[in-house]
Amino acid sequence: MSDENPPLEGAAFLKDKTKGLYEPAGSKALGESAERSTKQNREIAAGIPQWERWRAAAGQIKAFAIANLDKLLVEFEKNITARGATVLYAENAEEANRHVLDIAREHGVRSVVKSKSMVTEEMELNHKLEAVGVRAVETDLGEYLVQLAGQRPTHIVTPALHLSAEDVGELFAEKLGEPFTAEHQKLTDIARRHLREEFVAADMGVSGVNFAIADTGTFCVVENEGNAGLSTSTPPIHVVLMGVEKVIPSIEHLPIFLNLLGRSGTGQKLTTYTHLFHGATPGKKLYIIIIDNGRTNALADPAARMSLFCIRCGACLNACPVYRRVGGWAYGWVYPGPIGSVLTPHLVGLDKAGTLPFASSLCGVCNEVCPVQIDIPHQLVHLRRRAVNEPSPMRSLRQRVIWQAWSWAMAGPKRYRMAMGMARLGVRMAKYWPWHFWELGAWTRGRELPKVPDRPAFRDWWRKNGSQLKPEKPQTPDEPSR
Amino acid sequence: MSSRDNILGRIRTALKDDPPLERPAAPEVWPRENPPTEQMVGRFTQELEALAGEIHRCASMEDARAKLAELLSRLDQTTIGAIDHPLTRELAAELPADRIDWGASGADVPTMAGWAASVVPADCLLADTGTCMVACATTHERLMCYLTPVCVVIAQTDRLFEHLPAAWEELAGRIADPELRGEYVFISGPSRTADIEKILILGVHGPKRLVVLLVG
C-alpha cells in the first residue's frame, strides 16, 4: 500500500475535521463526472415506465437470496463443483489470500492478470502476491493506472477518475518509459500494448463475480473493456473471488439484474461484455473462493441486512453530495460513498469505521437511485445509533452528556426558552471567546455565526402583542364569500 | 470445523428466526410485443451502430462470403481464427484452408493474438441492445471473442429476439441442461473504455472493430 493512502480508520474528513476535505487534483472533475452520471441515471429511469417495478422486483429477489443464503450457497457449490470447479471457503481476507497463494504455489504461478474485483481490494491481494514474488497486474485500465501510481481506486466503477490525461501521460513516461502524450487514444493504445504482453505471459487469471446463480452453478461477470474475458481465458488457471452475498436463486432472475446494472452503473443498456461461466473450461482449472470477511456481521443484524443487496453499480456514489465533494479516498477503505459508509462498518468493524455512517447529510438521494432499493439513509441512522452505543470512535461520554442535556432542554417549554436565551447570549458573547474551541471548532471553523437580531425574540413579542390580535371568524359553507 | 461449516453456521444462526419468504417469480422485465423481423433488424442495426459496431445486411450466405472476402482483403495479416460451427464453416467455405484456424492447430495465445480477425457465430441477437450472444465453451472459442483486432459475427435474422427476456427461455434451457455446456459471451459493440477522463475510446483490450454479417 502506498503511504499516500489514508489508514483504515473511517472517514478521514471527519477525523481531521475540515483539513481532510481533499482529493488529489480531481475533486472538480470527479464531482462533475458524478453529477453527469446521476443526471444520466435519472433520464434513463424516467424513460422506462416500469423502472420502479424493476427496482422493487430486484430488491425482492435479493431479499429472498439473503434470507436463503445458506441453502443457495450450497446449491451453487454443488452445481458448479459438478462442472469441474473447486470451491473453497474463506472466513476472512487472510484465509482467502492463503487459498490464492496455495493455488499459485501448487501450480508454480509466477504472474497473475486480474480483472476488476472489489473483493480482491478488500484482500489487498496484489500486495500479498507480490510479497511472495508473484507478479500481479491489474488489467482494467482504471485499475492499472491506480496500480501504476501506487494509489487506491477513487470510485468502484471508474477507479482512476481523479487522474487527468496529463497525469496518465506522465505516469506512463515514468513507469513504462513511453514518450509523453496526453492524447486519449494514444494512452489507451500504450496500455493495450503493455497489457497484451501481460495477458499472454500470465500463468493465472483472477476475477470477481457479479452474480452467482444457484440453480445452474453459473456465474456472471460483466465488463466493457474485454480484460475480464482475456484474464479468464488466456491463462490456464482461473481463480474467482466471490463474496457470500453474490448468489441469486435462479438463472431466470438474471435478466432483470443485467438490465439494472448496466443502466445504473454506466448508463448502458447492457455492458459491452457479459460473460456466463459454467464450470471449468475444458483443459483448465477453475477455483471459486467464497468469502465472508465480515458479511455475516451484516447478516446477523436484521436492520442492516439490506446492505448485502448491493450489486456494486456505484450509482449512490455518483448521486451523493458528500462523495462528490470529498472523493473516494476520504472514506479510508475499499468502498467509498454511501454504500461504503454502510458496508465498511460491518466488514471491518464499528471500532475501526464507526465514523463512516456520520459521513452523510441523509438527503436520501442514494436510496432514490439504488437499483435494488437499499434504504441507505435508514441503514446509516441505524449504524449511527450502534456507533454511539458500541465501542467505536463515536462513543463519547462528552457527546452523550451534551446530547442528553440537549434532549432535556428541548423537552419542555420553560427549558426550551431558557436554552434559547442562553444560545442568544452565547452567540453574542462568542466574539470575545477563543475561536474554534473544543469540539464545536469542527463546526465553526468553516462557518460564520449568525447575527442575533436586535428585535425581541418571537416569544417575547407574542407575549406583548399576541392578545391584541383577534383571529378572523372562520367562514362556513353557508356564508357567501365576500 | 472447516471455514465452510463456520460460515454456513453463522448464516444459519443469523437467519434462524426469520419467517420464510416466498420465492419471487421471474419478473417480466419487458413486455413481449413480438415485432416483425424487419422491425427487429432495424432496431438491432440502430443500436449496434450507436455502439460503434458495423453491420452488413446480406441477402444470402453467398453475399456474406463476398462481404467477408472484401473485409479480409483490407487486413494486414492473412490468418484468421474461427469458432468451429456450421454457420462459420458455411461462411468460410471458399476461403483457402490455410488461411483459417478452427482451433485444432493448438496455436498458443501469442500466435492467436497475431491473427488479423476472428469469425464467431451468434446463437441469438438482441434487437433492443444490439447484442450478439455467442456460445463458447472452449478456450479457443472464448479467445475468438476478445483476442483479435477485428471480430466478425455471423448471424441469421431468424435468431433475432426483441430483447433479453425474449431470448432467455432458450438460453436458460441450455444453461440448465446438465448435458450441455452453457458458457456464453454477450457482445454489445467493440471493446471500450472511458477510464481516462470519461472519454470513450474503442478497442482498449478486445476487438477495435465488431462487424456483424446478418444473413436473411
Domain count, chain B: 1
Min Cα–Cα distance to chain A from B110, Å: 6
pLDDT score at A196: 94
pLDDT-derived band of residue B146, with 50, 70 and 90 as boundaries? very high
ipTM: 0.96
> What is the pLDDT at residue A478?
57
Q: Which residues does chain B have within 8 Å of residue A227's beta carbon, measured at their own beta carbons? A: 204-206
Asked if B11's CB is within 8 angstroms of A269's CB, the reply is no
Higher model confidence: residue A482 or residue A468? A468
- For A144-183, how does the pLDDT look when each residue is reduced to its tens digit (9 = 90+)? 999 999 988 888 888 998 888 999 999 999 999 999 999 9
- Selected for mutation to probe chain B from A32, A224, A346 (highest B CB count within 10 Å) is A224
What was the pLDDT predicted at A161? 85
A142: chain B residues, CB-CB within 8 Å = 193, 195
What percent of chain A clears pLDDT 70, i.e. is strictly above it?
Answer: 90
What's the pLDDT score for residue A32? 84
Provide the grid cell at A437: 474551541
Q: Which domain holds residue B57?
A: 33-215
C-alpha separations of A390 from A219, A347, A353, B6, B156 in Å: 38, 16, 12, 25, 63
Q: Is the pLDDT of residue A434 over 90?
A: no
Q: What is the mean pLDDT of residues A181-188?
A: 96
Segment (H or E) for A444: helix A441-444
**Cβ contacts (< 8 Å) between B201 and chain A: which residues?**
184-185, 188
- Residue A8 — very low, low, confident or very high, per pLDDT cuts 50/70/90? very low
Question: With bands split at pLDDT 50, 70 and 90, how would you rate the model's confidence at A184?
Answer: very high
Distance CA A313, CA A266 (A): 8
* Average confidence score pLDDT of chain B: 93
Grid look-up 419542555 returns: A412
Q: Check whether A24 has a pLDDT greater than 80.
A: no
What's the CATH fold of domain A50-293? Rossmann fold (3.40.50)
Residue A223 has pLDDT above 60, yes or no: yes
The angle subtended at Cα B189 by Cα B185 and Cα B195, nearest 5°, is 100
| Nearest chain B residue (CA) to A284 | B139
Say what the pLDDT of residue A152 is.
85
Q: For residue A16, name the pLDDT band (cuts at 50, 70, 90).
A: very low
Query: Does position B149 have pLDDT exceeding 90, yes or no?
Result: yes
Q: Average pLDDT over chain A, rounded to whole?
A: 89
| Tens-digit pLDDT profile for residues A381-414 | 999 999 999 999 888 888 889 889 999 999 999 9
Of B13, B165, B184, which is closest to A255 when you measure between CB atoms? B165
CATH number of B104's domain: 3.40.50.10420
Write down the pLDDT at residue A119.
96
- Taking an 8 Å cut-off on Cβ atoms, the answer to whether B176 and A216 are in contact is yes
Q: In the structure, what pLDDT confidence band is assigned to residue A29 with cuts at 50, 70 and 90?
A: confident
pLDDT above 90 coverage of chain A, percent: 70
Region A132-139: mean pLDDT is 96
A60 and B8 within 8 Å at the Cβ level: the answer is no
Q: What is the pLDDT of residue A473?
A: 67
How many contacts, defined by CB atoms under 8 Å, are there between A and B? Answer: 234
CB B202 within 8 A of CB A222: no
pLDDT value, residue A427: 82
Residues in chain B: 216
Predicted pLDDT of residue A468: 80
* pLDDT at A17 (0 to 100): 42
- Given an 8 Å threshold on Cβ–Cβ distance, is B191 in contact with A163? no
List CB contacts (< 8 A) between A69 and chain B.
11, 15
CB contact under 8 A, A252 and B51: no
pLDDT of the residue at A166:
92
Q: Which chain B residue shows the shortest CA-CA distance from A84?
A: B181
- B142 part of a folded domain: yes
pLDDT in the model for residue A5 = 40
Inter-residue long-range contacts of B194-197, CB under 8 Å, 24+ positions, other chains counted: B194/A158, B194/A266, B195/A140, B195/A141, B195/A142, B195/A145, B195/A158, B195/A159, B195/A160, B196/A141, B196/A145, B196/A160, B196/A163, B196/A165, B196/A168, B196/A184, B196/A187, B196/A188, B197/A29, B197/A164, B197/A165, B197/A184
Residue of A nearest to B143 (CA): A233
| Overall average pLDDT of the B29-33 stretch | 91
Mean pLDDT of A75-88: 96
Asked if B93 reaches chain A (Cβ–Cβ under 8 Å), the answer is no
Dist. CA A129–CA A98, nearest whole Å? 10
If you average pLDDT over each of A33-42, A45-54, B93-102, which comes out highest? Answer: A45-54
Tens digit of each residue's pLDDT (9 = 90 or more) over A98-117: 999 999 999 999 999 999 99
pLDDT bin (cut points 50, 70, 90) of residue A4 is: very low
Read off the pTM.
0.89
Give the model's pLDDT for residue A358: 92
Residues 172-201 of B with CB under 8 A from A: 172, 175-176, 178, 181-199, 201
SS (H, E, C) A245-285: HHEECCHHHHHHHHHHHHHHHCCCCCCCEEEEECCCCCCCE
Out of B145, B164, B190, name the one closest to residue A229 (CB): B145
User: In chain B, positions 151-170, which contact chain A (CB-CB < 8 Å)?
Assistant: 164-165, 168
Band of pLDDT at residue A3, cut at 50, 70 and 90: very low
pLDDT in tens, A253-289: 999 999 999 999 999 999 999 999 999 998 999 999 9
> In chain A, which among 185-204 make CB contacts under 8 A with chain B?
185, 187-188, 191-192, 195-196, 199-200
Q: Is pLDDT above 80 for B63?
A: yes
Confidence category of residue A27, pLDDT binned at 50, 70, 90: low
Task: Give residue B174's pLDDT.
Answer: 82
Strand-pair category, A273-277 with A218-223: antiparallel
Query: Chain B window 68-87: which residues touch A at a Cβ cutoff of 8 Å?
Result: none
pLDDT of residue A253: 95
pLDDT at A15: 47
| In the predicted structure, residue B18 carries a pLDDT above the cut 80 | yes
Mean pLDDT over A71-85 rounds to: 96
| B91 domain-assigned | yes
pLDDT greater than 70 at residue A439: no
Q: Looking at CA atoms only, how far is residue A247 from chain B in angstroms?
A: 13
Q: Is residue B18 part of a domain?
A: no
User: Is B1 within the bounds of a domain?
Assistant: no
Domain membership of residue B37 (yes or no) is yes
Domain boundary assignment for chain A: 50-293, 414-468
**Residue A23 exposure: Cα atoms within 13 Å on the Cβ side:** 26
